[in-house]
Amino acid sequence: MASLQNYPSVHRSFPPSSLPQLASQRHGTLPCCRRSAAAPGVVRAEQVASSPSTSHSLGRRQLLALGVAVPGIVAVNQNSVSFAAESKKGFLPVTDKKDGYSFLYPFGWQEVVIEGQDKVFKDVIEPLESVSVNLIPTNKEDIRDLGPPEQVAETLIQKVLAPPSQKTKLIAAKEHDVDGKAYYTFEFVAKAPNYTRHALSTISIGNGKFYTLTTGANERRWGKMKDKLETVVDSFKIFTVYDGAA
C-alpha cells in the first residue's frame, strides 16, 4: 500500500501552501467569488446563494449554461478528445483545451464562478445539485501512486470534499481505465445538521496536475438524480495538452 505522505491534496500531511485551490473546495459552502468580471451567462456565486430553494423539479426550465473555454494556444491530441463533440440528450459538453479535460453536465445547470475552483455548474433552484472541477500541480504521474481507491477516497472526503463538521461515509470506491489512464471513482454521503448530500467523485492525474471532479445532490433527490450524476462523473476525461511551441 503506497503512502499518502506525498499526496498533493491532504493539508494535514503537507504545508497549507501545497493545496491552495483544492482545500477551498467545500461542498455546501460558497467561497468568496472572484473579483474579475464574469463572462456573459456566468452567474456569480452570491447570485446563486440568494436564489430561493424549492423542491420542484427542473420542468421545462429554459436556462442554457454557457461553457466558456479557457483561452490559450495549444495543440491537442484530437484522437483523445473526439468524444467531446459527442453530447448526450439532456446534457451539454465542456472541453477545457488549456487544462486538458472534458465532461458533460445536465442541461439547465448554470455556470457559477467560485474562487479556488476551476469550473462549477449548478442548479439554481436545487443548490446541492452541482458539478465542480479542481486541479492542482503534482509531481505524481499516476493516481495509483497515491494508494488504493478506498484509502485515497477516504482521505479526500475527510480532508477536502466535506467540512470537518459534517459526518461522512464512503459507500464505494473503484478503479477504472480509459485509454490507458487510471481513474478512481467513488460514492459518498456528507451529513450536515439540516441536509445530507449524496455525491460522486472521480480523480486522476495527467499533464502534471491532480484532477478532481465532484457532483452530487440532496439525499432526498438522489433517486431522481442518480442516473444523471453517474453520467456526469463517467463522462469526465483527461487528455494530453501539448505546448503550442513544442
| pLDDT-derived band at 81, boundaries 50, 70, 90 | very low
pLDDT mean over 140-168? 96
Does the pLDDT at position 147 exceed 70? yes
* Assigned CATH for 16-53+63-243: 3.40.1000.10
pLDDT mean over 94-115? 96
Would you say 214 and 153 are in contact if contact means Cβ atoms under 8 Å apart? no
Strand order in the sheet with 119-122: 42-44, 110-113, 119-122, 130-137, 209-218, 196-206, 181-191, 167-178
| pLDDT-derived band at 88, boundaries 50, 70, 90 | confident
* CA nearest to 213, candidates 121, 140, 139, 84: 121
- Lookup: cell for 244: 503550442
For residue 101, what are the β-bridge partners?
96, 238
pLDDT at 53: 33
Q: Can you give the C-alpha Rg of the chain in angstroms?
A: 17
Sign of CA dihedral 138, 93, 172, 174: negative
The rounded mean pLDDT for the chain is 74
Find where cell 485551490 sits.
Answer: 21
| pLDDT-derived band at 232, boundaries 50, 70, 90 | very high
Whole-structure pTM value: 0.70
Integer angstrom CA distances of residue 197 from 26, 162, 166, 194: 12, 10, 10, 10
Instruction: Using DSSP bridges, classify how beta strands 209-218 and 196-206 pair: parallel, antiparallel or unpaired.
Output: antiparallel
Specify the 3-state DSSP secondary structure of 188. Answer: strand
